[in-house]
Chain A
Amino acid sequence: MASPLAALGLLVSPTQLGLVGKPGQIVSGTLHVSSSKSEENHISLAISDFTRNEDGQVVEILDSKLQPRSCKGWIDVDRSDFVSPAVGSVDVTVSARIPADATGSYWALVALASQPPARDLRGQGVAIRLIPRVAIPIVVTVEGTTKPAVAIIETRAVRADKGVDVYSTIENTGNTAVLISAAFSLERRSTGGGEAEELAGTTVGPLTSLPGTRMKAKGHLEYDGSLAGVQAHAYLRYGPDAADSTEAVAVIEDRPPVRQDSAVNGTSPSAAHPVKR
């Protein structure tokens, strides 16, 4: 397929790089950088720290001491200044030297920025030039030391336009970065002790969850029937084993969601009850 992608810009793949190795090992992965625009790009690389906020957004951390699971100091790249050719691509090898005592997951950010052209902005008044930058999260996981664990802190379900909105606050309580796939559903309890009837369902993710961080996931469930006897379920899967999952149930509220702060703190009377699986 001829793609408009070929007519524009720069491509960096993947948009997040995961490296896995044993304590004491050096592990590496590759970033593919290509100029799909027919011109060279002068690119420089920098490594920094980051975390993810509750919305899953990447937020940089300027002081490494504030990021106890930083692997910024372990990471090396095989080229920090290079020219991305007009045609073809450049592979950048990102390697991490894992300390012998490391456990779980660690992370840092590799940022690619174009070097500012020697262009004069002279003139009257003010001009603001912004240099574009592409930031790629690098997650290093130490094999044999992982303890993945995820908890649902709260789930709320609120009647919305054409259905129900379900919100879950999720905390990574283990030492390992995981990809979370979330499934939300509306289920009507059986009156005769049989299986509950699923009325609507949707999925979200996968979402990257870092140890020690919280994030929010939201699902919109389209359903225009009666909500009598109906509950909202949130189900999270964060690993290949059935045990790598957790679930919560929430009653459906009629009012709009309350402020985020109280939802996270679990002060709502309709906070969900996590279900052990």
Chain B
Amino acid sequence: MTSRRTMLLAVVICAASAAVAAAPGPPSIVVLSPLVDLGSVRPSVDGIAAPEPRSAPIPLLIQSSSPWSLTATLESNSAATQLLPDGDRIEIRPAGRVWTRLQLSLPIPLASGGETGPAGDSIPLEVRVISTLDSPPGSRHVRIRFAIASDSNTGFADVSYAVPVVTQLNDDLTPFVSPRVNPARPGLYPYEIRTYQVVSNVPWVVEATLSAPAIAQASAATLPQNTLVITNETGVAQPLVPNEPVAIASGGASGQQPRSVQLRLAVKVDDAVLPAGDYSGQLSLSIRPAASSGSGTEAAVRR
């Protein structure tokens, strides 16, 4: 009996001391740094090591007189929130723990604890954004809602970042060498077809430019104009004139799936005199965002 009374007394004392130590009122969250700017977030591209995603701290202060559980949700109904592109992933974690992807309207549990005392518990969170080529370029503003216990105890952090334009051409620095050409036999003498890979998060165009006239190694003679041509898939030849870019192909944003582009070069021999010799020149290939919203390849179209 005595032991039972002692036990009961101990329970009462514990409860009383807990009541004295606990913070009064409902649990609360204070977001100490509610504005987060992650700057430019470059999409990861295969073949180039993606930089470590930049993260930023979001320190929280939680006060609760009872055990608590903290969740985070991407807000969908705030003016500060845009619908996120599929290629963007926003991740959060308590510092040093495993990253967890935030979901739209789906609370993700982040941390839990017991009563905090009047000073509250500091919860150091970190947020980061990972972007892929499936994301169009542009500025983004998203809101993260933190909650404990119920929806009435919430805090918010507004996260901003920008996805830059990414256009990438996988180039090949192996020299183009033409077949031996008989200047007395008119016709097209094709180079080996070369295939390139393009990835881009915007519509793009790939262009080839002959940097300067090709020069004969022995005589320093210049290659006659219009000797080099780019042929499209239907066999139509466009002359490659020094310093005049020729569009090889164009297309819409590739996302993460590379698009193949073929370069078909040829030497064109006609009635014009083609002095004998071995010529050498430089050919630039470049990619840039297209100035047209039209989609699809316009092979070998002079622009």
**Interfacial residues, chain A to chain B (CB-CB below 8 A):** 1, 3-6, 8-16, 32, 34, 36-37, 41, 43, 55-60, 89, 111, 113-114, 116-117, 119, 121-135, 179, 184, 202-208, 215-220, 240
The chain B residue with its CB closest to the CB of A53 is B245
Residue pair A15, B168 in contact (C-beta under 8 Å): yes
- A5-B258, A8-B197 as given contacts; A126 in contact with B175, CB under 8 Å: no
Instruction: State which residues 157-194 of B face A: CB under 8 Å.
Output: 165-183
Residue pair A130, B176 in contact (C-beta under 8 Å): yes
Residue pair B283, A3 in contact (C-beta under 8 Å): no
**Counting chain A CB atoms within 10 Å of each CB, which of B173, B197, B211, B282 scores highest?**
B173
Residue pair B267, A218 in contact (C-beta under 8 Å): no
- Give Cα A4 to B168, complex, Å: 13
CB of A246 to closest CB in B, whole Å: 17
Residue pair A134, B171 in contact (C-beta under 8 Å): yes
- Find chain A residues with CB under 8 A from B207 CB: 57-58
- Give Cα A237 to B97, complex, Å: 41
Cβ of B199 under 8 Å from chain A: yes
- Give Cα A113 to B281, complex, Å: 11
- Find chain A residues with CB under 8 A from B46 CB: 1, 3, 5-6
Cβ of B195 under 8 Å from chain A: yes
- Find chain A residues with CB under 8 A from B168 CB: 11, 13, 15
- Give Cα A233 to B138, complex, Å: 21
**Interfacial residues, chain B to chain A (CB-CB below 8 A):** 45-49, 137, 139, 165-183, 195-197, 199, 202-203, 207, 209-211, 214, 217, 223, 227-228, 243-245, 256, 258, 260, 265, 267, 274-294, 303
Residue pair A129, B278 in contact (C-beta under 8 Å): yes
Residue pair B277, A126 in contact (C-beta under 8 Å): yes
CB of A262 to closest CB in B, whole Å: 19
- A10-B170, A57-B245, A129-B175 as given contacts; A202 in contact with B288, CB under 8 Å: no
Residue pair A36, B292 in contact (C-beta under 8 Å): no
CB of A219 to closest CB in B, whole Å: 4
- Give Cα A89 to B47, complex, Å: 10
The chain A residue with its CB closest to the CB of B302 is A55
Q: List 24 A-B contacts (CB under 8 A).
A: A4-B197, A5-B170, A5-B258, A11-B48, A12-B171, A13-B48, A15-B286, A32-B49, A43-B173, A57-B209, A59-B244, A114-B173, A129-B278, A130-B214, A132-B176, A132-B282, A132-B283, A132-B284, A134-B285, A204-B203, A207-B291, A208-B288, A216-B291, A220-B294
Residue pair B181, A125 in contact (C-beta under 8 Å): yes
- Find chain A residues with CB under 8 A from B243 CB: 59-60
The chain B residue with its CB closest to the CB of A50 is B243
- A1-B256, A3-B46, A8-B170 as given contacts; A58 in contact with B176, CB under 8 Å: no
- Give Cα A125 to B189, complex, Å: 12
Residue pair B197, A132 in contact (C-beta under 8 Å): no
- A1-B256, A9-B173, A15-B169 as given contacts; A128 in contact with B279, CB under 8 Å: yes
Residue pair A207, B289 in contact (C-beta under 8 Å): yes
Residue pair A10, B288 in contact (C-beta under 8 Å): no
- Find chain A residues with CB under 8 A from B294 CB: 218, 220
The chain A residue with its CB closest to the CB of B195 is A8
- A13-B48, A57-B207, A127-B279 as given contacts; A219 in contact with B293, CB under 8 Å: yes
- Find chain B residues with CB under 8 A from A12 CB: 171
- B292: which of A5, A111, A206, A218 is its contact (CB, 8 Å)? A218
Residue pair B196, A9 in contact (C-beta under 8 Å): yes
CB of B273 to closest CB in A, whole Å: 11
CB of B241 to closest CB in A, whole Å: 11
- A204: which of B47, B183, B223, B293 is its contact (CB, 8 Å)? B293
CB of B281 to closest CB in A, whole Å: 5
- Find chain B residues with CB under 8 A from A179 CB: 165
Residue pair A206, B171 in contact (C-beta under 8 Å): no
The chain A residue with its CB closest to the CB of B263 is A132
Residue pair A125, B183 in contact (C-beta under 8 Å): yes
Residue pair B292, A131 in contact (C-beta under 8 Å): no
- Find chain B residues with CB under 8 A from A55 CB: 245, 291, 303
Residue pair A126, B278 in contact (C-beta under 8 Å): yes
The chain A residue with its CB closest to the CB of B177 is A129
